[in-house]
Structure formats: structure tokens, C-alpha cells
């Protein structure tokens, strides 16, 4: 399987949760507490680096961060 840049986001999530082997694209990252308010900033920087985008903290829509699919759609769609 060819690694894509969204996989960098998935890898970051898994690196924070060594008890997990995988995270599904449609799994809710917030409800499952895979991402919380304090790790969120690290998630944003991971997305910025992987997608080569700049994310405005003052205009964040939480819907864009609910799942890996949502992150991909919001920040990687132009790839």
C-alpha cells in the first residue's frame, strides 16, 4: 500500500496511543479521546506539516477534526 500524507496524521495518533494498532478513517477522534484539547495543538501542527497548509486557530471548525476522513476532506482535498 502506498503511503499517503494523511497517513502521517494517522501515524501521529497511533504514536500517542501505543495501546492501539489502528484507527479507522471514520472513528470519532474526540469522543474516543484519541485527541483532546491539549494534544489538539500537536494535531494541528502535524496536519500543517503533512498537508502544507496553514490553519487559523481563530477560525477552527471542530467538524473538520472529528475523524481522519474529515481531516483529509478539509485539509488534504487539494492534494
Q: Does 18 bind another protein (CB under 8 A)?
A: no
What is the sign of the dihedral through the CA atoms of 35, 29, 78 and 2?
A: positive
Contact 61, 23 (CB under 8 A): no
Binding-site member from 18, 19, 21, 37 for another protein (CB under 8 A): 37
Q: Which stretch binds another protein (CB under 8 A): 3-11, 20-28, 55-63, 67-75?
A: 55-63
| Identity of the residue, 3 or 61, whose beta carbon is nearer to another protein in the bound complex | 61
Least gap, CB of 76 to another protein (angstroms): 20
Q: How many CB atoms lie within 10 A of CB 71?
A: 23
Please count the residues of this chain forming the interface with another protein, following the rule CB under 8 A: 17
**Could you tell me the CA-to-CA distances from 33 to 26, 36, 37, 66, 77 in Å, in that order?**
14, 6, 10, 11, 25
Residues that bind another protein (CB under 8 A): 30, 33, 35-42, 44, 57-58, 60-62, 65
Amino acid at each position: 500500500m502506498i503511503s499517503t500524507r494523511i497517513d502521517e496524521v494517522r501515524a501521529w495518533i497511533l504514536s500517542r496511543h501505543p495501546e492501539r494498532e489502528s484507527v479507522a478513517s471514520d472513528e470519532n477522534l474526540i469522543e474516543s479521546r484519541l485527541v483532546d484539547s491539549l494534544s489538539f495543538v500537536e494535531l494541528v501542527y502535524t496536519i500543517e506539516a503533512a498537508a502544507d497548509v496553514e490553519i487559523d486557530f481563530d477560525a477552527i471548525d471542530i467538524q473538520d477534526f472529528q475523524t481522519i476522513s474529515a481531516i483529509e476532506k478539509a485539509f488534504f482535498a487539494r492534494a
